[in-house]
Chains A and B, each alone.
Chain A
Amino acid sequence: MAPLDKDAESESKPIPDPLEIPRLACGAMADLTPFPAHEKHNTDLGFPGGLIDNWKEVAIAKIGELAEKNRAFQVYLDACVKCGACTDKCHYFLGTADPKNMPVARQDLLRSVYRRYYTFAGKYFPWLVGARDLTEEVLDEWYSYYHQCSQCRRCSVFCPYGIDTAEISMAAREILDTVGKGQKYCNEIIAKAQNIGNNLGLQEKALRATLEDLEEDIEDETGVAVRIPLDEKGADVLLITPSADFFAEPHIDGLLGYAKVFHEAGVSWTISSYASEAANFGLFIGSYENMRTLSLRIRKAAIDLGVKRIVFGECGHAWRVGYSFLNTLAGPFDFLDQNYPIPQHIMEFTHDMLENGKLNINKSKNDEFRVTFHDSCNVARGSRMGDKPGGQFELPRAVLRHVCNNYFDMDRDTTHESTLCCGGGGGLLTDELMDLRTKGASPRMTALQQVTEDHGVTHMAAICAICKSQFSKVMPKFGYDMDSILSVHQLVSNAIILTGQEDDRDQAEPTAVAEEASP
Chain B
Amino acid sequence: MLSTLYAVLFYAATLMLIIGTGFRIRKYAKAPAPLKIPTTPAPTTRQGVFWRMVREVAVFESLFKSNKWIWVFGYAFHAGLALVLLRHFRYFTLDVWWWVEIVQPFGVYAGFAMVLGLLGLSFRRVVVERIRYISDPSDHLMLLLLIAIGASGLLMKYVAHTDIIAVKGYMLGLMRFRIGELPADPILLIHLGLVAFLMIIFPISKLLHGPGIFFSPTRYQVDNPREKRHLAAWAAELEK
The answer to whether B124 touches A84, judged by C-beta atoms less than 8 angstroms apart, is yes
B143 to chain A, nearest CB (A): 10
Which one of A161-169, A237-245, A349-357, A450-458 contacts B?
Answer: A161-169
Interface string of A79-121 (1 = CB under 8 A from B): 1111111111100000000010010110010000000000111
The answer to whether B62 touches A162, judged by C-beta atoms less than 8 angstroms apart, is yes
Residues of A within 8 A of B35 (CB): 288, 324-325, 328
Which one of A362-370, A376-384, A439-447, A466-474 contacts B?
Answer: A376-384
Within 8 A of B (CB), among A267-289: 288-289
Q: How many residues of A contact B (CB 8 A)?
A: 71
CA gap between A156 and B235 in the complex, in Å: 25
Within 8 A of A (CB), among B28-69: 28, 30-37, 39-44, 56, 60, 62-63, 65-67
The answer to whether residues A71 and B28 also contact, given A158-B62, A342-B226 and a CB cut-off of 8 A, is yes
- The listed residue (B136, B223, B228) touching A384 by CB distance below 8 A is B223
Chain B's interface: helix, strand, loop or mixed, by majority? helix
The answer to whether residues A84 and B40 also contact, given A75-B215, A158-B62, A332-B229 and a CB cut-off of 8 A, is no
B216 nearest in chain A by CB position: A162
A251 to chain B, nearest CB (A): 24
CA gap between A76 and B213 in the complex, in Å: 9
The answer to whether B225 touches A327, judged by C-beta atoms less than 8 angstroms apart, is yes
The answer to whether B70 touches A128, judged by C-beta atoms less than 8 angstroms apart, is no
Interface presence of A70 (CB below 8 A): yes
A283 nearest in chain B by CB position: B35
The answer to whether residues A84 and B218 also contact, given A69-B34, A327-B225 and a CB cut-off of 8 A, is no
Interface presence of A392 (CB below 8 A): yes
- The listed residue (A79, A84, A156, A389) touching B209 by CB distance below 8 A is A79
Interface presence of A303 (CB below 8 A): no
The answer to whether A79 touches B212, judged by C-beta atoms less than 8 angstroms apart, is yes
The answer to whether residues A130 and B136 also contact, given A69-B31, A381-B39 and a CB cut-off of 8 A, is yes
Interface presence of B131 (CB below 8 A): yes
Interface presence of B74 (CB below 8 A): yes
Interface presence of B15 (CB below 8 A): no
Interface presence of B3 (CB below 8 A): no
Interface presence of B238 (CB below 8 A): yes
CA gap between A23 and B129 in the complex, in Å: 8
Interface string of A171-182 (1 = CB under 8 A from B): 000000000000
The answer to whether residues A102 and B133 also contact, given A71-B32, A163-B216, A164-B218 and a CB cut-off of 8 A, is yes
- The listed residue (B40, B65, B131, B209) touching A161 by CB distance below 8 A is B209
Residues of A within 8 A of B215 (CB): 71, 75
Interface presence of B240 (CB below 8 A): no
The answer to whether A85 touches B66, judged by C-beta atoms less than 8 angstroms apart, is yes
Counting residue pairs across A and B whose Cβ atoms lie within 8 Å, the total is: 209
Residues of B within 8 A of A79 (CB): 206, 208-209, 212-213, 216
The answer to whether B62 touches A160, judged by C-beta atoms less than 8 angstroms apart, is yes
The answer to whether A384 touches B213, judged by C-beta atoms less than 8 angstroms apart, is no
Residues of A within 8 A of B62 (CB): 85, 157-160, 162
The answer to whether A119 touches B204, judged by C-beta atoms less than 8 angstroms apart, is yes
The answer to whether residues A382 and B66 also contact, given A84-B131, A327-B226, A328-B225 and a CB cut-off of 8 A, is no
Interface presence of B139 (CB below 8 A): yes
A69 nearest in chain B by CB position: B234
Most chain-A Cβ atoms within 10 A of its Cβ — which of B130, B209, B229, B235?
A: B130
- The listed residue (A82, A331, A382) touching B40 by CB distance below 8 A is A382
Interface presence of A417 (CB below 8 A): yes
A379 nearest in chain B by CB position: B40
- The listed residue (A81, A323, A382) touching B206 by CB distance below 8 A is A81
The answer to whether A71 touches B138, judged by C-beta atoms less than 8 angstroms apart, is no
Interface presence of A78 (CB below 8 A): yes
The answer to whether A389 touches B223, judged by C-beta atoms less than 8 angstroms apart, is yes
* Nearest 10 CB-CB pairings of A with B: A79-B212, A158-B66, A389-B41, A162-B218, A130-B136, A84-B131, A85-B66, A162-B219, A71-B31, A160-B63
CB pairs A–B below 8 angstroms (8 shown):
A81-B206, A120-B204, A129-B136, A129-B138, A160-B213, A163-B218, A328-B229, A382-B37
- Knowing that A82-B136, A161-B213, A324-B35 touch, tell me 14 more A-B residue pairs with CB under 8 angstroms: A69-B34, A71-B217, A72-B33, A72-B37, A79-B216, A87-B134, A99-B130, A158-B65, A162-B213, A288-B35, A328-B36, A328-B235, A381-B39, A417-B39
Which residues on B are within 8 Å of A, measured CB to CB? 24, 27-28, 30-37, 39-44, 56, 60, 62-63, 65-67, 70, 74, 121, 124-125, 128-131, 133-139, 141, 204-206, 208-209, 212-213, 215-219, 223, 225-226, 228-232, 234-235, 238
